[in-house]
Structure 1
Amino acid sequence: MAKFKFNHGAVDRLLRQSVDNLADKLTRALNNLTPTYQGKPVDEVKVVVQRAWGENSGGGALPEPQLTEFATAIANGRHVQVNGVVG
Protein backbone atom coordinates (compact mmCIF):
# COMPACT_ATOMS: atom_id res chain seq x y z
CA MET A 1 0.00 0.00 0.00
CA ALA A 2 1.33 3.46 -0.92
CA LYS A 3 1.87 6.05 1.77
CA PHE A 4 0.69 9.59 1.39
CA LYS A 5 2.40 12.41 3.23
CA PHE A 6 0.45 15.65 3.40
CA ASN A 7 2.54 18.83 3.36
CA HIS A 8 0.46 21.27 5.43
CA GLY A 9 3.01 24.06 5.05
CA ALA A 10 2.92 23.90 1.27
CA VAL A 11 -0.88 23.89 1.23
CA ASP A 12 -0.99 26.84 3.63
CA ARG A 13 1.46 28.82 1.47
CA LEU A 14 -0.54 28.06 -1.67
CA LEU A 15 -3.79 29.10 0.00
CA ARG A 16 -2.25 32.35 1.32
CA GLN A 17 -0.85 33.15 -2.13
CA SER A 18 -4.23 32.51 -3.78
CA VAL A 19 -6.05 34.70 -1.27
CA ASP A 20 -3.49 37.49 -1.67
CA ASN A 21 -3.77 37.31 -5.47
CA LEU A 22 -7.56 37.57 -5.30
CA ALA A 23 -7.37 40.50 -2.87
CA ASP A 24 -4.95 42.30 -5.21
CA LYS A 25 -7.23 41.66 -8.20
CA LEU A 26 -10.27 43.00 -6.32
CA THR A 27 -8.33 46.04 -5.09
CA ARG A 28 -7.29 46.93 -8.65
CA ALA A 29 -10.81 46.42 -10.01
CA LEU A 30 -12.38 48.64 -7.36
CA ASN A 31 -9.76 51.37 -7.60
CA ASN A 32 -10.24 51.48 -11.36
CA LEU A 33 -13.77 52.74 -10.63
CA THR A 34 -12.59 55.87 -8.81
CA PRO A 35 -11.91 58.13 -11.83
CA THR A 36 -15.38 57.47 -13.25
CA TYR A 37 -17.43 57.41 -10.05
CA GLN A 38 -15.74 60.04 -7.89
CA GLY A 39 -18.39 62.58 -6.90
CA LYS A 40 -21.30 60.28 -7.76
CA PRO A 41 -23.99 59.36 -5.20
CA VAL A 42 -22.97 56.45 -2.97
CA ASP A 43 -26.10 54.47 -3.89
CA GLU A 44 -25.10 54.66 -7.56
CA VAL A 45 -21.53 53.64 -6.79
CA LYS A 46 -22.69 50.70 -4.65
CA VAL A 47 -24.32 49.09 -7.70
CA VAL A 48 -21.10 49.34 -9.70
CA VAL A 49 -18.94 48.17 -6.79
CA GLN A 50 -21.14 45.10 -6.31
CA ARG A 51 -20.96 44.33 -10.03
CA ALA A 52 -17.16 44.69 -10.12
CA TRP A 53 -16.83 42.55 -7.01
CA GLY A 54 -18.94 39.77 -8.53
CA GLU A 55 -17.10 39.87 -11.84
CA ASN A 56 -13.70 39.65 -10.16
CA SER A 57 -14.45 37.27 -7.29
CA GLY A 58 -16.02 34.45 -9.23
CA GLY A 59 -19.57 35.59 -8.56
CA GLY A 60 -19.42 36.39 -4.87
CA ALA A 61 -21.37 39.23 -3.28
CA LEU A 62 -19.76 41.92 -1.16
CA PRO A 63 -21.62 42.13 2.16
CA GLU A 64 -22.56 45.21 4.12
CA PRO A 65 -20.96 47.19 5.66
CA GLN A 66 -17.99 46.67 3.31
CA LEU A 67 -20.10 47.51 0.25
CA THR A 68 -21.03 50.91 1.64
CA GLU A 69 -17.50 51.48 2.96
CA PHE A 70 -15.90 50.84 -0.43
CA ALA A 71 -18.58 52.75 -2.37
CA THR A 72 -18.22 55.76 -0.07
CA ALA A 73 -14.45 55.76 -0.45
CA ILE A 74 -14.71 55.57 -4.24
CA ALA A 75 -17.36 58.32 -4.36
CA ASN A 76 -15.01 60.48 -2.25
CA GLY A 77 -12.08 59.82 -4.59
CA ARG A 78 -10.16 57.63 -2.17
CA HIS A 79 -8.51 54.32 -2.94
CA VAL A 80 -9.60 51.13 -1.24
CA GLN A 81 -7.62 48.10 -0.12
CA VAL A 82 -9.06 44.59 -0.06
CA ASN A 83 -7.35 42.35 2.48
CA GLY A 84 -7.63 38.60 2.30
CA VAL A 85 -8.08 36.61 5.48
CA VAL A 86 -7.17 32.96 5.81
CA GLY A 87 -8.30 31.16 8.87
Structure 2
Amino acid sequence: MARSRFTFNQQIMKKVVNEAAGKVEAKISTLLNGMSSEFAGRPVEEIKPVLQSRWRAAVDGSITDPELSEYAAKIAAGESFDVKVNVR
Protein backbone atom coordinates (compact mmCIF):
# COMPACT_ATOMS: atom_id res chain seq x y z
CA MET A 1 0.00 0.00 0.00
CA ALA A 2 1.41 3.38 -0.99
CA ARG A 3 1.67 6.09 1.62
CA SER A 4 1.39 9.79 0.99
CA ARG A 5 3.00 12.44 3.09
CA PHE A 6 1.75 16.00 3.31
CA THR A 7 3.44 18.96 4.91
CA PHE A 8 1.49 22.11 5.69
CA ASN A 9 2.93 25.52 6.41
CA GLN A 10 1.10 26.66 9.57
CA GLN A 11 1.36 30.35 8.72
CA ILE A 12 -0.19 29.80 5.31
CA MET A 13 -2.92 27.61 6.80
CA LYS A 14 -3.75 30.26 9.43
CA LYS A 15 -3.95 32.91 6.72
CA VAL A 16 -6.30 30.80 4.60
CA VAL A 17 -8.51 29.95 7.57
CA ASN A 18 -8.66 33.57 8.76
CA GLU A 19 -9.57 34.78 5.27
CA ALA A 20 -12.37 32.21 5.09
CA ALA A 21 -13.60 33.23 8.56
CA GLY A 22 -13.62 36.87 7.45
CA LYS A 23 -15.82 36.02 4.49
CA VAL A 24 -18.26 34.13 6.72
CA GLU A 25 -18.32 37.05 9.20
CA ALA A 26 -19.16 39.45 6.38
CA LYS A 27 -21.92 37.23 4.97
CA ILE A 28 -23.57 36.71 8.36
CA SER A 29 -23.26 40.38 9.38
CA THR A 30 -24.77 41.47 6.06
CA LEU A 31 -27.60 38.97 6.43
CA LEU A 32 -28.46 39.92 10.02
CA ASN A 33 -28.17 43.67 9.48
CA GLY A 34 -30.32 43.49 6.34
CA MET A 35 -32.96 41.53 8.18
CA SER A 36 -32.79 43.93 11.11
CA SER A 37 -33.66 46.80 8.77
CA GLU A 38 -36.38 44.80 7.05
CA PHE A 39 -38.00 43.12 10.07
CA ALA A 40 -37.56 45.58 12.95
CA GLY A 41 -40.73 45.65 15.02
CA ARG A 42 -42.08 42.39 13.60
CA PRO A 43 -42.87 39.33 15.76
CA VAL A 44 -40.01 36.92 16.53
CA GLU A 45 -42.10 33.94 15.36
CA GLU A 46 -42.48 35.61 11.95
CA ILE A 47 -38.73 36.29 11.71
CA LYS A 48 -37.45 32.85 12.73
CA PRO A 49 -38.42 30.84 9.61
CA VAL A 50 -37.19 33.59 7.30
CA LEU A 51 -33.90 33.83 9.20
CA GLN A 52 -33.42 30.07 9.11
CA SER A 53 -34.02 29.97 5.36
CA ARG A 54 -31.78 32.93 4.57
CA TRP A 55 -29.05 31.65 6.91
CA ARG A 56 -29.02 28.32 5.06
CA ALA A 57 -28.73 30.11 1.71
CA ALA A 58 -26.02 32.52 2.88
CA VAL A 59 -23.63 30.14 4.63
CA ASP A 60 -24.77 26.74 3.39
CA GLY A 61 -25.55 25.66 6.94
CA SER A 62 -28.26 25.68 9.53
CA ILE A 63 -28.94 27.63 12.69
CA THR A 64 -30.85 26.07 15.55
CA ASP A 65 -32.35 27.29 18.80
CA PRO A 66 -31.36 29.01 21.01
CA GLU A 67 -29.30 31.07 18.53
CA LEU A 68 -32.20 31.33 16.11
CA SER A 69 -34.50 32.78 18.79
CA GLU A 70 -31.78 35.08 20.13
CA TYR A 71 -30.95 36.54 16.70
CA ALA A 72 -34.63 36.83 15.76
CA ALA A 73 -35.31 38.81 18.96
CA LYS A 74 -32.40 41.15 18.21
CA ILE A 75 -33.62 41.57 14.63
CA ALA A 76 -37.13 42.38 15.93
CA ALA A 77 -35.56 44.99 18.22
CA GLY A 78 -33.76 46.56 15.26
CA GLU A 79 -30.29 45.90 16.65
CA SER A 80 -27.19 46.01 14.48
CA PHE A 81 -24.71 43.17 14.23
CA ASP A 82 -20.93 42.86 13.95
CA VAL A 83 -20.30 39.12 13.78
CA LYS A 84 -16.92 37.65 14.72
CA VAL A 85 -16.05 34.04 13.91
CA ASN A 86 -13.76 32.37 16.44
CA VAL A 87 -11.13 30.19 14.77
CA ARG A 88 -9.34 27.77 17.06
**Residue 4 of structure 1: how far off its partner (Å):** 6.1
Equivalent AA in structure 1 for residue 34 of structure 2:
N
Task: Please report the RMSD computed on the Cα atoms of aligned residues, expressed in angstroms.
Answer: 1.6
1:38-75 Cα deviation digits (max 9, x unpaired):
111101111111111111102x1112221111110110
Whether 1:74 aligns to 2:88 is no
Normalising by structure 1, we get a TM-score of 0.84
Runs of 4+ in 1 over 4 A off after TM superposition: none
CA distance in 1, matches of 2:64, 2:18: 22
CA distance in 2, matches of 1:45, 1:69: 11
Aligned ranges for residues 1-87 of structure 1 at < 5 Å? Answer: 5-58=7-60, 60-87=61-88
Identity %: 29
Q: Which runs of 5+ in 2 are unaligned?
A: none
Count of aligned residue pairs for this structure pair? 84
Q: Which runs of 5+ in 1 are unaligned?
A: none
Equivalent AA in structure 1 for residue 10 of structure 2:
H
Q: 1:4 to 1:53 in 2, by over 3 A?
A: closer
1:3-24 Cα deviation digits (max 9, x unpaired):
9642111111110110121111
